[in-house]
Amino acid sequence: MRRLIEIWPDSGRDEFALVIDRRRRHRVLIVPPLLAEMNRMRRLVATTMRALDVHGIDSFAPDLPGTNESAAPLFSQSLHTWRTAMERAARHFTATHVLAVRGGALIFPNVLPGWVLEPVSGAAILRQMVRARVVAARERGDHEDSATLIETGRTEGLMLSGYDLGPGLIAGLETARPLDEGQRQIHQSELGGAALWLRAEPGDDPAQAVRLADIIAGGISA
């Protein structure tokens, strides 16, 4: 059986996942990067899944509630709700391994063996998004400063790069550290080519996806 989009149950609501499932032994849950970085890396994730399929490995990339196709409100999400959702997805898809990408390392089920690709702190993600807002304000001739914005965000939430982030998520990001516990860290230099999460326009790099899938397949068969 092979289906591309599958529904999985989160608390009280269905969510979607991109899925390549042939009921095989090795099943990798892919926990995506957060927010803006997720858009930039969506194609890399999908291409990696196809490359894993060639290696005989099933994979699952669930939407984080409140993002992508999800009907849940983003504003009510927090790192905790995302963590819980990823645990549920891991159980639903009976994942045997996990690949967390960038900010995905803040919310992935770290009881599974697997890999963490260039993990990033919550503070770094937040700082970049707040900075984008400060720069945009300056272009309009307005003034906003990061410290005040974050303080407001902590109590009222904050609109950043078109994402309506609630106070829970802002507060969580401020202190969150990657959760990897024995998972193998993969560095961008191992994939060759430029980091796609830096790319202003979402891009693709099939060669990187093939290398990433090779590392995962090599780790599983080792």
Partner 1 sequence: MSDRIDHTLRTVLGDVLGLTPTRRDALTPGSPLFGALPELDSMAVATLFGAIEERFDLFINDDEISGEVLETYGTLLIFIRGKCAA
Query: For partner 1, which residue of 68, 123, 154, 203 counts as binding (CB under 8 A)?
Result: 203
Q: Does 170 bind partner 1 (CB under 8 A)?
A: no
Q: What is the DSSP string of 72-139?
A: S-GGG--HHHHHHHHHHHHHHTT-SEEEEEGGGGGTS-TTS-EEEES---HHHHHHHHHHHHHHHHHH
Nearer to partner 1, 15 or 37 (CB): 37
Q: Does 155 bind partner 1 (CB under 8 A)?
A: no
Amino acid, single-letter form, for residue 123:
A
Are 103 and 120 contacting, i.e. CB atoms less than 8 angstroms apart? yes
Nearer to partner 1, 32 or 109 (CB): 32
Nearer to partner 1, 69 or 145 (CB): 145
User: Footprint of partner 1 on residues 119-148 (CB under 8 A)?
Assistant: 124, 127-129, 131-136, 138-139, 145-146
What are the backbone angles phi and psi of residue 218, rounded to the nearest 5°? -65, -40
Kindly state the helix (H) or strand (E) to which residue 44 belongs, with its residue range.
helix 36-54
Q: Does 177 bind partner 1 (CB under 8 A)?
A: no
Q: Does 7 bind partner 1 (CB under 8 A)?
A: no
The two three-digit tokens of residue 147, written as one number: 């410290």
Nearer to partner 1, 12 or 141 (CB): 141
Kindly determine how many residues on this chain lie close enough to bind partner 1 according to the rule CB under 8 A.
23
Q: What count of other Cβ atoms lies within 10 Å of the Cβ of residue 143?
A: 9
Nearer to partner 1, 14 or 145 (CB): 145
Quote the CA–CA distance of 108 and 91 in Å, as a whole number.
12
- 20 bridge partner residues: 59
Nearest distance, CB of residue 41 and partner 1, angstroms: 13
Q: Does 159 bind partner 1 (CB under 8 A)?
A: no
Binding positions for partner 1, rule: CB under 8 A:
36, 124, 127-129, 131-136, 138-139, 145-146, 161, 194-195, 198-201, 203
